[in-house]
Chains A and B, each alone.
Chain A
Amino acid sequence: MDMTDTKFIASPVPASAPAALEIIGVRKDFESFSALRDVHLRVNPGEMLCFLGPSGCGKTTLLRIIAGLETQTSGQILQNGKDVSWLPPDRRDYGIVFQSYALFPNLSIAENIGYGLVNSRARRGGIKARVEELLKLVGLPTSGNKYPSQLSGGQQQRVALARALATRPGLLLLDEPLSALDALERIRLRGEIRRLQKQVGITTIMVTHDQEEALSMADRIVVMNHGVIEQVGTPMEVYEQPATPFVADFVGKVNVLRAVALGNQRFKVGDMELQCDACDGAFEPGEAVNLYLRPEDRAVEHLGDGTANRLRALVTKVEFLGGLCIAEVTADALHGQALGLHFSLNQLHDLDIREGNTIDIALRANRIRAFSARAPKP
């Protein structure tokens, strides 16, 4: 099977570059199931990597194994070429921020941030200066004397970040750092963490189940499911060229059409033949496939006779969501298979897209992805 290869091609790193972190064949078996099966991954120096997946996919387990908080059943972890696989947490080099922040409630913000510095035998003046520098870095220059309970969730988050960065670790681990925050604060902190990470230049691994978070923050995303890495790639690659049906389904919204391969990148859906330029997999004619199409991958303008995948569709439902709406359409030619398509509110008005109306659309041939409908090999 070639899927694994596309995965490695997708990551634009020459194999010779020194990895900040290398995970080799890591497995984690619990009594009743395997949380991770044979995971391989290279993390480049200075990059922001996101582990993305549904709960139970193994992403947090993998992070905790990197941190030494869990023990892998087998496999190796190299940090800057050094084997740390079996070292206890305090002999590894990383800073960590937990979902709960784990700030010490009885210590002031400054004491929290300086907690790890005291131990590194820095001089007192040096500690104070470093703490102030970090407070400034995270935008809380005057909060040093407060206690964690006096800060908002987002502020506590930033303190936890400052504490993790204080000892200048070579690796920063973020375990769902934003999921305890409310929606607005979450979006604000996304940008802030990313800015900080770039400013400090620290290699960072973040675990999240929120695809928007991963898409907006990561240099590269590692999509995981059932203890297996489904795809590694830049946010754009993961979104536009999902390597597996799971990735297509999990990242972004997607329509699925049942189809039969005709060969030569053509597929039959109902009575219609669809052209699919981006399908690199070779399908035997007659093979059952699923076609994946994102809601925005439809054209409504400049449609001519030569435009591929044109159809007249009946609008069965319009879901008003604000600036961007979803219209559900179907067509006899598709044998009743429905598609949810994105339209801006203006398009809705201009093209008179209403329940019961018919519209002219084309499905973008360079966007449709095809996957075999047979169950993937385990």
Chain B
Amino acid sequence: MNTLARPLPALAAFNARPVMRWSRDETIARAILLVVMVMLFVFLIAPLLTILAHAVQDREGRFVGLTHFITYFQTPSLLRAAWNSIWVSAAVVMISVPTAFVFAYALTRSRMPTPLKAVFRLIALIPLLAPSLLSAISFVQWFGNQGALKFLLGGASIYGAPGIIMAEVYNTFPHALMILVTALSLADGRLYEAATALRTRPFRQFMTITLPSCKYGLISAATVVFTYVVSDFGAPKVIGGNFNVLSVDVFKQVVGQHNFSIGAVVGMLLLVPSIISFVIDYVVRRKLKAQLTARSVPYSPKRRKLADPLLTLFCTVVCGLLLATIGMAIYTSLISLWPYDLSLTLKHYHFVLVESDMADAYTNSLIVAMATAVAGSLIVFVGAYLIEKTRNLGLMRKGMHLMAVLSMAVPGLVLGLGYVMFFNHPANPLNFLYQTMAILIISMVVHYYTSSHLTAVTALKQIDNEFEAVSASLKVPFFKTFLRVTVPVCLPAILDIGRYFFVVSMASLSCAIFLYTPETILASVAIMHLDDAGDIGPAAALASLIVVTSTVVCIAYSLLTRVLLSRTQAWRNLSRG
């Protein structure tokens, strides 16, 4: 044994294990990441903990254990709200998901003309641009006490469960559709060729190949829809009538009765279904992704004499209904007074933008949406970059990732409630944020953090993992490579994130409902107040303005990115010469 060349193992074991020194780069990276993590902690975790604290304290701050929960469960009217939330959400899932599935099937598996598919798809995504109040207002106009189609209900009332269900089906349809289109586009053409070669009938192919392959997509769509409905506040507020649901209950307890303890209890209850479906969705999405990476031959649908026209008809009907909903809202905003004076007018727009005491609402929303888009995409992308590309982060990576995906599981209403309880406390050094525009922007960034984070992570995973290693070996600081390579390469994803933040914060209500002041009131909140006051016309006008603004931004965005990308992304489309 050549012992001279080696240190004795026993001796080596005595030395304390040295630690890899961090380079300046790694120290900087960790410092920035720490800032992002502290932000997420302060603006996500701490407010949630505050709700929990309130739920087990009395008004004087004494610990009372589960007293409030017991009170809650002994109050039949409150319990009924929980049950209502659950069954209404389930009903929406049962309608929205199958409809979206057939629609997605038509878009991905039929031989409808491609331009028609594009039009159908665009129409189907419109609900994303509108605040959830819009559909409720529209259904009130169609089926309400003076509704155009009230006779169809045969004496039944739209206010309550039927209205909520209809409005939420409209609101959740594009969410389910996007997930199912993704699931259905993953088809492996070879499976169908093999099945056909084995002379399998089309129906059996559908049952044995198509359905199983989008099992995860269906589960994911169902959980997303369910969570959306449970935590949505806008539609039940407008069209719910006396039909109580959890989300409206939180609002009533806190804003109406200043009962923070019961509000906190309901907030915690709202978290339960969200977190359950979040966990299901999270597990299922991983499996969906595993399917995605498998190598497969794309499926190209064959012409079918019966199915194709039927599917086209179906899509036409659905799109007609979607357009009728948004159309009614826009129409309402343009006429004097339904149903008495149908003359066209812009007075409602003039009212909400100039005369009303909420005239600042639209501008405020624009400012918040733009600031959220800029700040959100910056923070999200930097955060995602640092956890994806910094070595040896250990627990930091796990902690950051957990917080980033957790935000999705927290309904906006609960987040807003947490902010009220946390930042309104006079002892909180961040108290100065309360009642400012800044807190609205922060709540939007945090509330919509997860999907943006996942978009950024996906984009970052697609670029070579060794850029940072190469830079280090060339002694180039990591932030230089970040600015010169990573950001330009990921620019499309970053712009996507910015657009997403703009659109969702433009329409978001539940986050802001606890946080606005008369000076910082947002358009969606103003719509709610206008509707409460019976000003349906102005409410519809403001809702339509939001849709138009988001549409314009989306169009401008696609034009801008096309120009920008052609200038900065020339390297993408070069062929080998």
**A residues engaging B (CB < 8 A)?**
4-5, 8, 15, 24-25, 38, 40, 67-69, 71, 73-75, 85-92, 94-96, 98, 100-107, 115-116, 118-120, 146-152, 163-164, 166-167, 169
Contacts and interface: CB of A to CB of B under 8 A. Distances in A.
Contacts of B489: 104-106
A96 B20 contact: no
A102 B467 contact: yes
A103 B569 CA distance: 15
Contact of B576 (A8, A87, A92, A150): A150
B307 to A, nearest CB: 41
Nearest 8 CB-CB pairings of A with B: A116-B474, A88-B23, A89-B472, A102-B466, A147-B571, A90-B472, A102-B464, A71-B20
Contacts, number: 130
B476 A116 contact: yes
Interface string B170-204: 00000000000000000000000000000000000
B467 A169 contact: no
A308 B392 CA distance: 60
B533 interface: no
A336 B575 CA distance: 59
A127 to B, nearest CB: 13
Contacts of A91: 21, 23
A105 B571 contact: yes
B473 A119 contact: no
Given A148-B571, A152-B576, 17 more contacts: A67-B469, A85-B18, A86-B19, A87-B21, A88-B20, A91-B23, A96-B469, A96-B470, A100-B464, A101-B464, A102-B467, A102-B470, A116-B475, A118-B476, A120-B475, A149-B571, A149-B574
Contacts of A151: 576
B25 A90 contact: yes
Nearest to A155: B576
Contacts of A104: 467, 481, 484-485, 489
Nearest to A148: B571
Contacts of A89: 23, 469, 472-473
28 contacts: A5-B2, A24-B6, A69-B391, A71-B20, A71-B392, A74-B12, A74-B17, A86-B18, A88-B21, A89-B472, A90-B23, A92-B473, A98-B466, A100-B464, A100-B465, A102-B465, A102-B466, A105-B572, A106-B571, A115-B471, A115-B476, A116-B476, A120-B475, A147-B570, A147-B574, A151-B576, A163-B470, A163-B474
A40 B6 CA distance: 8
A3 B466 CA distance: 37
B21 to A, nearest CB: 5
A82 to B, nearest CB: 14
A33 to B, nearest CB: 19
Nearest to B570: A147
Interface string B14-53: 0001111111011000000000000000000000000000
Interface string B380-401: 0000000000011000000000
A73 to B, nearest CB: 8
Contacts of B469: 67, 69, 89, 96, 98, 102
Contact of A88 (B472, B572, B574, B577): B472
B22 A88 contact: yes
Nearest to B487: A106
Overall SS of chain B's interface: loop
Interface in B449-475: 463-467, 469-475
Nearest to A164: B473
A98 B477 CA distance: 19
A67 B468 CA distance: 12
A120 B471 CA distance: 13
B119 interface: no
Contacts of B467: 102, 104
A4 B575 CA distance: 53
Nearest to A87: B21
Contacts of B26: 88
A149 B472 contact: no
A151 to B, nearest CB: 7
Interface of B: 1-2, 5-7, 9, 12, 17-23, 25-26, 391-392, 463-467, 469-477, 480-481, 484-485, 488-489, 568-572, 574-577
A149 B576 contact: yes
A118 B471 CA distance: 12
Contacts of A106: 485, 488-489, 568-569, 571
B54 to A, nearest CB: 41
Given A90-B475, A149-B572, A4 B1 contact: yes
A25 B574 contact: no
Nearest to B576: A150
Given A105-B489, A106-B488, A86 B475 contact: no
B484 A107 contact: yes
Contacts of A73: 17
A169 B18 CA distance: 26
B466 A40 contact: no
Contacts of A8: 2, 5
Contacts of A164: 473
A167 to B, nearest CB: 6
B576 A95 contact: no
B577 A146 contact: yes
A248 to B, nearest CB: 23
Given A25-B7, A40-B5, A87-B21, A167 B485 contact: no
A100 B462 CA distance: 12
A15 B4 CA distance: 11
A366 to B, nearest CB: 28
B570 to A, nearest CB: 8
B76 to A, nearest CB: 53
A88 B475 CA distance: 11
A105 B568 CA distance: 12
Nearest to A114: B474
Contacts of A69: 391, 469
Contact of B475 (A15, A102, A119, A152): A119
B473 A95 contact: yes
Contacts of B465: 100, 102
A119 B477 CA distance: 9
A87 B576 CA distance: 40
A95 B469 CA distance: 10
Contacts of A96: 469-470, 473
Contacts of A166: 474
A101 to B, nearest CB: 8
Contact of B470 (A71, A85, A98): A98
Contacts of B470: 96, 98, 102, 163
Contacts of A95: 473-474
Contacts of B476: 115-116, 118-119
Nearest to B474: A116
